[in-house]
Structure 1
Amino acid sequence: MSLFNPDKWVHYLGFLSRKPSDPAALHYPRPSAAQAGALASQNPIDANLSSISQELPLARILQICLVQISTAIAFVLIHSTLNRVMIVEFGVQAWLVGVLIGFHNLLAFVRPMIGYYSDSHLLFGYRRTPNILVGNLLVTTGVIGSIYGAVWMGQSFYGGLSVLILAAMLYGIGINIVGTMFYAMLADSVGEKHKAKAVTAGWFVLIMGTIVMSAFVGKYLENFSEERLISLFWMGGAASILFTWLAIFKAEKRFASPEEIVRSGSKPLGLSNALKELFQNKPTYQFFLFMFVTVVAIQGQDVILEPFGAHIFGMSVSETTKLTQIWGAGTMVGIIALGLFFVNKLGKKRTAYLGCILSAVGFGVISASAWFDPAMFKTGVFMLGLGNGALTIGSLTLMVDMTTQRNAGLFMGLWGLAQAIANFVANAFGGAIRDISLYLTNSQYVGYTTAFTIEIIGLFAAIWILKGISVQEFKKSSSDVLLETGNAAD
């Protein structure tokens, strides 16, 4: 049976109890008698919000996931195309490109702020939808502005750099808003049992969108020119807006008044208490460190992989952009093979181990490919994607486990913060290591392989950190400490 058979996906994702052809499946299902009884035991506000978080049909989940296609379009244009063009065609130093592209991670403080605001405030009767629209507008403006800044650097370096910094700020704020609101909307719309699967589905759509967009960009830029490059970014911006509107159309419940969503119960932990808990509770600190190290190691290649292909093998812009397709295909295989079939048999930690090992092998093959041919290089990129898929599934499922029922939002925010900081470090780190090694040795090969070797070491360090983490110990110690801290806050 084909992996693209919708019925097979419905079976594995577990979202549907009715077929898509059933008209009732296109609407929010009513709670069962048991669910209704549970809701009745809650206070009115919690019951009202809980009544929304029932299982939605797959069609509605996939509609919301169209936001990820919008994100994929921006991702390819900024992290793949703009990155390569600035370093190779425009001759900008890799470390500067890495800092600009990774700048959005420094703006991750927006995530808890906008998340808290949308939890307790309505705009035109909605919690998430208006924020997604504003975020997407900022992303689109940043994407289009970035290409003008890059082109302008040829005439005025500091003038173009100023535009790029402003574009990076707009893109960074917007992408953090959209990302936070997307997962918040999924959490609002999916029952507790299937939240992890819904997040996995969203990530799946993101990778599919990345593959398709990379293919389009590669084809469109076969005849490269600045005019075609600029028109590509305009088309990408328009497509991003379109998919965002399709994603949010009638996707969220409209509330009549703010009183329907005002949160009740004990006070939430403040940021200072959350950070104190992070660094004093050993399992929490260890997992934060694991998330940080794995992201730095796996994403350190983000700004140097395409330039490696250009400098070592003389690949064109079109050819290096297609590397994202190869990486994405490997990632998809990793997600499908491990996430849908083997993760329960292997276990979450072993799946993460396997992802680290496959990624390390991928970096090794890429480094060795310089002595052979581009085909070996592409094989290494595929293996890197395969490892990334396995590591994503393992880390994602572990991340869901590494929360407590009372403070799930707090811990998901902390893990997201770890990823954001690590992404910024990775983007700057990969480019900086390459530049320093190139300066010291005057060898492109040594510059790139030094960065790849350090990333291999980081992946094995992540395995060592993960071995010392116990989910059971985390849940016990975190529950005890957070309960005490929460009582103190009250």
Structure 2
Amino acid sequence: MKIGTFHIGSSFVDLLTSGVLNRVLISDLNLWAAPVALLSALRYLLAPLSIWAGYRSDTRPIFGMHRLPYIWAGRLPMLLSLPLLPVITVMLAADPNSILAWTLAVFSFMIYGVGTLISGSTYMALVRDTAPPERRGQALSIVQIFLIVSFPIAGVVYGLMMPVYDPGTFWVITLTGMGIAAFCFFFSLLGEERPGQSIVADTPTEHVPFPQLLREMWADRRTRLFFVFMALGAASAFAQDAVLEPFGGQVFDLPAGDTTLFNAYWGAGVVLSLLTTVFITRHRQAHEQTGTTIIGLVLTALPLALLGFVSLTKAEILLIPTLFLFGVGFGIYTIGAVSLLMAMTSDSRAGAYLGLWTIAQLLFRGIGIFLGGVIRDVAYIITQSYTIAYASVFFLEAIGLFACIILILKVDVPSFARSVGNVRTPAANLAAAVD
């Protein structure tokens, strides 16, 4: 739980870049969604860095440590890039076509993205390394819950601090987010790895050249299919990421404070379903969670389709319940997918495999975010209707998630788990923590 507080900091800085800033630029400053979505997607489009960072942390310790130097090498630039966000909004408010403003925006998001990718897979590897083999699924689940629970909390905090966009207030919430994140990063990582401590001694890393390692991993059909499953799921589940809050502003005329709370509504559903799911599945092993994943996919896709209907009919009364239901499905899907991800990871190549799955999630999450903005803009140009534009995004997301069900049924996760010795890894669960 201590190391999981790392993700409290992650949620506070991520919401600034993926939620608050997008709302301000698209809805309050009335910029096109596609370039704003591309900014949000930039960090994810650099995702191949994550597998390189994971491989380096497996094979090239720095100051006698495998993980912490790489994590801090990513998190510090992330924090230092954030003060540019309020500057960018002021410059774009004065001139939406300012080359300098867009250059600063690209620079800020590139630095933020590189930092995220260098530290993301190495942090996951640290969590896995520091947990006993029989508790790794549980450990990853607890850490994931910290991330998901923190997003609605951050949304409430930012919504209360800035109910209506104001440049001065945006400065305040940016500095507040930076401070909270810096404290959480330091507290969570303190003492988790010491120089000379061999955290991977029980499963020595194979020193295979990086290109050869990639070829060996990709040669397995199960790895390829699981990669496609993770990629399509990430693109489909997050295509609304850059347009959800602008959707509330442009379809229902809601102020910034109200749309920031969207994260709290769907986050509450996530928390409820996460806790319920881990209790129900607490005796299942990680490779036995395909059924849980399919249920989660269905229950995530249906609310997205309903959200498209809400947009078309402007049925505001259904908006909050639909967001809550989306969170419920997403929580179930998360538990299932995280468990399968752990089963599809080799002990001796944990950093590399987790880097590969990070690519699948982040790269295609970024592609999904960008496509969400493009679909919204193209649909609006064709129809001149915000309701149809946003509904198009939600309906296509639902179709993509239904397609993921076919893919996961083709992946033989149990056989992969047996081949790498992961069949004894428990399913991700919280209930075991108090057994």
Q: Structure 1 residues 322, 117: closer, same or farther in 2, change over 3 A?
A: same
The aligned counterpart of 2:166 is 225
Partner of 1:418: 360
Partner of 1:391: 333
Instruction: Give the secondary structure class of the aligned counterpart of 1:65.
Output: helix
Instruction: Name the structure 1 match of 2:426.
Output: none
Q: Distance in 1 between matches of 2:62 and 2:352?
A: 24
Q: Does 1:450 align with 2:392?
A: yes
What is the Cα deviation at residue 430 of structure 1?
0.7
Residue pair 1:153, 1:159 contacting (<8 A) in 2 also: no
1:425-444 correspondence to structure 2 within 5 Å: 425-444=367-386
2:133 matches 1:192: yes
Higher mean displacement: 408-417 or 220-229: 408-417
2-side partners of 1:103 and 1:437: how far apart?
23
Q: Contact 2:306–2:322 (CA<8 Å) still a contact in 1?
A: yes
Structure 1 residue 222, shift from structure 2 partner: 1.7
* Matches of 1:142 and 1:81, distance apart in 2: 16
Pairing 1:237–2:184 present: no
2:26 paired residue number: 87
Residue 80 of structure 1: how far off its partner (Å): 0.8
Matched, 1:69 2:8: yes
**Separation of aligned partners in 1, 2:202 and 2:373:** 45
| 1:28-76: CA deviation from partner (whole Å, max 9, x where unpaired) | xxxxxxxxxxxxxxxxxxxxxxxxxxxxxxxxxx221221111011111
User: Counterpart amino acid of 1:189?
Assistant: T
Contact 1:120 1:262 in 2 (8 A): no
Hey, what's the Cα distance between the residues in 1 that align with 2:387 and 2:334? 29
Specify whether residues 442 and 372 from structure 1 end up closer, same or farther in structure 2 by C-alpha distance, changes over 3 A only.
closer
Using the alignment, how far apart are the partners of 1:319 and 1:427 within structure 2? 22
Q: Which amino acid aligns with 2:183?
A: L
Give the deviation of 1:162 after TM superposition: 0.7
Mapping of 1:45-56 within 5 angstroms?
none
Give me the whole-angstrom Cα distance separating, in 1, the residues matched to 2:331 and 2:148.
10
Q: Separation in 2 of the partners of 1:129 and 1:273?
A: 26
CA distance in structure 2 between the partners assigned to 1:267 and 1:344 by the alignment: 32
Q: Is the 8 A contact 2:124 2:354 kept in 1?
A: no
Matched to 2:386, the amino acid is Q
Residue identity matched to 2:117 = N
- Alignment partners' CA distance in 2, 1:77 and 1:381: 20
Counterparts of 1:396 and 1:424, CA distance in 2: 19
Matches within 5 A, 1:134-145: 134-145=73-84
**Distance in 1 of aligned mates of 2:120 and 2:275:** 23
Instruction: Name the CA shift for 1:255/1:142 in 2 (closer, same or farther; >3 Å).
Output: same
Measured in 1, the distance between the counterparts of 2:317 and 2:73 equals 43
Task: Compare 273-282 and 166-175 and name the one that shifted more.
Answer: 273-282
Q: Does 1:354 align with 2:295?
A: yes
**In structure 2, distance between residues paired with 1:306 and 1:441:** 21
Distance 2:44 2:2 in 1: 27
- Matched residue pairs, number? 416
Alpha-carbon distance between aligned partners in 1 of 2:352 and 2:240, rounded to the nearest angstrom: 30
What residue identity is the alignment partner of 2:277? L
Q: 2-side partners of 1:282 and 1:119: how far apart?
A: 24
Structure 1 pair 241–197 and aligned structure 2 pair: CA distance change class (3 A) = same
1:155 Cα deviation from its structure 2 partner = 3.0
Q: Deviations over 1:97-136 (max 9, x none)?
A: 1111111112223323333333445545544334333322
Distance 2:181 2:414 in 1: 42
**Unaligned runs of at least 5 residues, structure 1:** 1-61, 480-490
TM-score by length of 2: 0.88
TM-score (norm 1): 0.79
Q: Is the alpha carbon distance of 1:296 and 1:260 closer, same or farther for their aligned partners in structure 2, counting shifts above 3 Å?
A: closer
What are the residue-to-residue correspondences of 1:333-344 with 2, within 5 Å?
Answer: 333-342=272-281, 344=283
| Residue 373 (structure 1) aligned to one of 297, 308, 315 | 315
Letter of the aligned partner of 2:171 in structure 1? Answer: I
For 2:383 and 2:136, locate their aligned partners in 1 and report how far apart those are by CA, in whole Å: 50
Contact 1:150–1:161 under 8 Å retained in 2: no
Aligned residue runs from structure 1 range 318-337, under 5 A:
318-337=257-276
Larger gyration radius, structure 1 or structure 2? 1
Alpha-carbon deviation of 1:201?
Answer: 0.6
Quote how far apart the aligned CAs of 1:453 are. 1.2
Please give the residue correspondences for 1:162-201 in structure 2 after superposition, counting only pairs within 5 Å.
162-201=103-142
Equivalent-residue separation in structure 2 for 1:392 and 1:260 (angstroms): 27
Task: Measure, in 2, the Cα distance between the counterparts of 1:120 and 1:295.
Answer: 29
- The residue aligned with 1:100 is 39
Q: Distance in 2 between matches of 1:293 and 1:324?
A: 22
Q: Which amino acid aligns with 1:310?
A: G
CA distance in 2 between counterparts of 1:155 and 1:380 reads: 37
Structure 2 unmatched runs, 5+? 422-435
> Cα gap change, 1:299/1:223 in structure 2, threshold over 3 Å: closer, same or farther?
closer
Change (3 A) 1:92 1:403: same
Q: Deviations over 1:160-191 (max 9, x none)?
A: 10111110011111112332232222123111
For 2:53 and 2:413, the matched residues in 1 are separated by 29
Q: Measure the CA separation in 2 of the matches of 1:138 and 1:312.
A: 36
Structure 2 distance, partners of 1:266, 1:318, is 49
What letter matches 1:356 in structure 2? L
> CA RMSD for the aligned pairs?
2.6
Q: Given the alignment of the two structures, is residue 204 of structure 1 paired with residue 145 of structure 2, yes or no?
A: yes
SS at match of 2:2: helix
* Partner residue in 1 for 2:155: 214
Q: C-alpha distance in 1, partners of 2:254/2:219? A: 49
**CA separation in 2, counterparts of 1:260 and 1:240?**
26
Identity between Structure 1 and Structure 2 (%): 24
C-alpha contact 2:231 2:361 (8 A) present in aligned 1: yes
Q: Counterparts of 2:357 and 2:303 in 1: how far apart (Å)?
A: 26
Report Cα offsets for 1:255-304 as digits up to 9, x if no partner.
Answer: 28xx9989997854444334444554322221111111111111111111
Contact in 2 for aligned 1:365/1:379 (Cα 8 Å): no
Read off the aligned partner of 1:91 and give its amino acid letter.
Answer: N
Q: CA deviation at 1:395?
A: 0.8
Q: CA deviation at 1:144?
A: 1.9
Return the offset for 1:229: 1.0
1:295-316 per-residue CA deviation (whole Å, 9 max, x = no partner) reads 1111111111111111111111
